[in-house]
Structure 1
Amino acid sequence: MGSATTQALSVTNAALGAASGIDLTVASELFQAARAVGASSHLSAALADFPAPAEARAKVVADVFGPVFAPVTVELLTTVTQQRWSSVADLVDGIEELAVRAASVAAPDGDLGAELFRFFRTVAENPELELALGSRVGDSAAKSQLVASLLEGRESGAAVLVISSLVRQTRGRRVRDILTRAMAIVGDQRSQLIATVVTASELTPAQSDRLTATLSQRYGADIALNIVIDPSIVGGLRVQIADDVIDASVSARLADLRQRLAG
């Protein structure tokens, strides 16, 4: 990510934080805008024409999106296009990131990150589903409908919106990579670190609370747990936060013991 994009993201994220009336409609419109810009070389060129006056780019936003989108959505898109992005691809990614953040803002009481992680695990465990959603030749609307049919009634409206929107325009990215990025964005929006916890059996609420408190104290931040059940670790836990791995599993201890005996 270039320095221009880093600065642009900072400005647009601040604009979202200052905006009022952010709901799932706004998030949906931002996703629609990301798809429109990503699919049209003419539109993306006009909005990424950084030598052009800012007023000209604002007029393009007003002309294209003003008649159909909510005023707050148009204001956010105008802010996005006023920034200098390192590339057109970064501009599209920036709008998409803003959409994910808006969905998180619109559902403050839900655990959007956990819902995204559950679908991530579903995709990881079903190669045929990942192939169907990631295919470059598949109909994008059909992919969105497939996600909706799988998640409607099981996950929140915010989760259905985010996942069904992201799979409509993968832009050559793997579905799991897209979901991983979305989880990181939601965690950042909520000022949380994401801990992926691998355990041999389901944790009790008390165990989850103790683990969360311990990790929060260690890292000095709020922690969101993503739990993976894997009997092969036998017992104990393996915890990963970003690149930091804490492996206290029985299988790891046994492997270490075997290595010492062999060496």
Structure 2
Amino acid sequence: MGSATTQALAASAVALDAQTVDLNTARELFAAANVLGSSKQLGGALADPTASVESRSQVVATVFGAQFQPATVAALNAAVSQRWSNADDLVAGIEDLAVRAASRAAEGVDIEGELFSVTRLIADNPDLELALGSRLGANDAKGTLVSTLIAGKASDATTTIVSALVQNPRGRRVRAMLSHAMGLVAQQRGGVVATVTSASALSADQQERLTAALSKSYGGRVSLNVVIDPAVVGGLRVQIADDVIDGTISSRIEDLRQKLAG
């Protein structure tokens, strides 16, 4: 990610926070990202740094103004007024805004936990992951499939996010998209997500102590997503974004094996 895109993402997120949004805002932003991703000419025009901000805003008004609510149009205008490294980054940035809007529209819902549950569902069903990640088949059918599978198990906000993402993968793996979305939701709510891998379930007290320790280390709220994997034997593996703390017995055994082999 280029520095221009990093700054554009931050500025766009701030602009979105100034708007009153609902779940329709999120749906419209996802739709806008889909339109721009499907049209290189349109995406290129809105990401063109040589074009004036006024001309880019006029394009937004022409294409989306009549069908989208004011909050969505304002968020799109804020996004296209920024300087992005390329058109693909603009599309991804608008998609990120959609996830953030869904998070804000359902502030009392544990979207992070629900997204994690969907991720585990897909990870535990290779055929499902293959079907959702395949380039064959209609994308809207994939959205319908995943919406049906999580019906009654996830909120409208989570269903909106998951369905939109699987319909527009743009070469990304499904679980990677969901993991990115989890991070965005956590960030929008002032925290980060820690994926904890353990050989057995953690007690409530263990989770509370681990959450407190990680929150202190990272200077903010940390949400835990716990994965049970007997292969780790003992200890914990904690991953927060690109940071990995591996204190599992299996990793120590592997280190010892490599030293002996070397």
Structure 1 equivalent of residue 230 of structure 2: 231
CA offset at residue 220 of structure 1? 2.4
Distance of 1:242 and 1:92 partners within structure 2: 22
Summarize deviations over 1:1-46 as a string: whole Å, max 9, x none: 11221221121111011112x1111001000000011012232233
What are the within-5 Å matches in structure 2 for residues 50-199 of structure 1? Answer: 50-199=49-198
Corresponding residue of 1:203: 202
Match of 2:217 in 1: 218
Question: TM-score if structure 1 supplies the norm length?
Answer: 0.91
SS in 2 for 1:167: helix
d(CA) in 1 for partners of 2:224, 2:38: 36
Are 2:39 and 1:40 equivalent residues in the alignment? yes
Secondary structure of the corresponding residue to residue 66 of structure 2 = coil
Give the deviation of 1:253 after TM superposition: 5.3
- Aligned-partner SS, 2:247: strand
Q: Distance in 2 between matches of 1:256 and 1:84?
A: 45
What secondary structure does 2:201 align onto? Answer: coil
- The alpha carbon displacement at 1:260 in A equals 8.6
Equivalent-residue separation in structure 1 for 2:40 and 2:158 (angstroms): 29
What is aligned with 2:28?
A: 29
**Residue ranges of structure 1 left out of the alignment (5+ in a row):** none
Distance in 2 (alpha carbons) for counterparts of 1:210 and 1:10: 32
| 1:46-78 deviation digits (Å, cap 9, x = unpaired) | 322332222221111112111111111011111
Query: Larger deviation: 27-36 or 166-175?
Result: 166-175
| Cα distance in 2 for residues equivalent to 1:221 and 1:62 | 39
Deviates more, 1:125-134 or 1:138-147: 125-134
Unaligned runs of 5+ residues in structure 2 are: none
Report the counterpart of residue 244 of structure 2 in structure 1: 245
User: Which residue identity lines up with residue 102 of structure 1 in the other structure?
Assistant: A
Cα distance between partner residues in 2 of 1:183 and 1:201: 23
1:3-18 pair list within 5 angstroms: 3-18=3-18
Change (3 A) 1:258 1:68: closer
SS in 1 for 2:167: coil
TM-score normalized by the length of structure 2: 0.92
Kindly provide the CA deviation profile for residues 89-108 of structure 1, in whole angstroms up to 9, marking residues without a partner as x: 01101100110111111111
Q: How far apart, CA to CA, are the structure 2 residues paired with 1:85 and 1:261?
A: 49
| Distance in structure 1 (CA, Å) of the matches to 2:216 and 2:53 | 46
Between the aligned residues of both structures, percent identity stands at 55
Aligned length: 262
* SS of structure 1 residue aligned to 2:171: coil
Name the CA shift for 1:92/1:261 in 2 (closer, same or farther; >3 Å): closer
Counterparts of 1:126 and 1:12 in 2: how far apart (Å)?
A: 36
TM superposition shift of 1:183:
1.8
Query: Which ranges of 4 or more aligned residues in structure 1 deviate by more than 4 Å?
Result: 252-263
Cα-Cα RMSD: 2.1
Separation (CA, whole Å) in 1 of partners of 2:45 and 2:259: 63
Letter in structure 2 aligned against 1:237? L
Amino acid at match of 1:10: A
Task: Give, in angstroms, the shift of residue 249 of structure 1.
Answer: 3.2
* Distance (whole Å) between structure 2 residues aligned to residue 50 and residue 257 of structure 1: 53
Report which stretch shifted further, 241-250 or 152-161: 241-250
Cα distance change of structure 1 residues 86 and 214 upon mapping to structure 2, 3 Å threshold = same
